Each structure stands twice: as structure tokens, then as C-alpha cells.
Amino acid sequence: MHDSEINISIITLNDLEALQNIGIQTFIETFASVNTKEDIDAYIASGFDSAKLTAEVNNPDSQFYFINIGKKPIGYLKVNFGVAQTELQDTESLEIERIYVLKEFQGRKAGQLLFSKALEIAQKRKLKTVWLGVWEQNHKAIKFYEKNGFTVFDKHSFLLGNDLQTDIMMKINLAD
């Protein structure tokens, strides 16, 4: 990847189909090998439904961003504020709900750039904490967040299809 080609753009309703496509592809690449096809299919049917994604993109307390090479999206970020957060719903925190990068572009700093974008958004809003939930079996992601200064503060359950899984909740406190 050449830096001059990489850009981050905000996702709008005009990008819904591209968001749906990259969301499904990255989810399958990340989780299909370690979950049943039935559970993956059930999650995709509900989690990437057009009506659900439309509501999420329209939510003023959520923002989506693509990371692109030229005009081709290779990953995306979803952040939540206030009541859009899946857990804490603290007015002084930002949740990174999703950072996904297509497998062929992993290891080339795209995830790090999306992560940096989330921190930049939190700092601009003068928020105190950035937090996220990560599946306890996603060791690669956990290492990535630990390397970036996140620490574990809790866990919660997450239903993938019919499989009840555990997410580790991690956070970083931002300097004033």
C-alpha cells in the first residue's frame, strides 16, 4: 500500500451496499473458520440486514468510516457515542464497535490507521475513555489492542447465532 493512495472517508447511506458487502466479507474471513455455518449465516442475516444498517448509519450517535485504497474500500470502522454504545453508554466515552480489514490487506497498517482515526475522534470530542469488546478467542485482535495501550476491565456475553460467546471488554484512558 502506498500512503498516497490510502484514505479514510465517512460512510453515508449512498455507501450502504458497499458497507454491507465489506461487512459480510470481513466477518466471514474473521469468524467462519471458528464458528458453525448456521451461526455465521444467522448473524449475517440479522447483523448486516439493509434496514438495520440503514438505522445504524442514520443514528447521529454512530459514525462509520471506510479505509480505502484509491476508491476501493478495504476495511471499515464503526464508533458509537452516548446511548448508541452497546454497554457503558457513558457521555465521556467512545466505543469502537467494529474495526475490520479485508484479510488480503491485514498486516499493512490499515487497522492501525482506523484505530488512530477512532482515537482522533475521541480526542476532538474531549472524551475521557475509548473502549471496545473483543471476542475472547480473537487473540490477534486482543494483542493489537494491548499493544495500543488497552487494558481489560470487564467481559460480557455475545450471541452469535445460537452460540453464547464471551467478549472481553477493554479500554484506554485518554490524557486530559
Q: How far is CA 60 from CA 48, 57, 64, 76, 77, in A?
A: 19, 8, 11, 18, 15
Report the C-alpha gap between 46 and 50 in whole angstroms. Answer: 9
Q: Which of 43, 65, 100, 145 is catalytic?
A: 145
With a CB cutoff of 8 Å and minimum separation 6, the contacts of 175 are: none
- Is 145 labeled as catalytic in the residue annotation? yes
Chain mean position to CA 125: 19
Q: Which residue reads 493489537 in cell numbers?
A: 144
Distance between CA 138 and CA 29 in Å, rounded?
Answer: 12
89: left (phi over 0), alpha (psi -120 to 50) or beta: left
Residues tagged active-site: 145
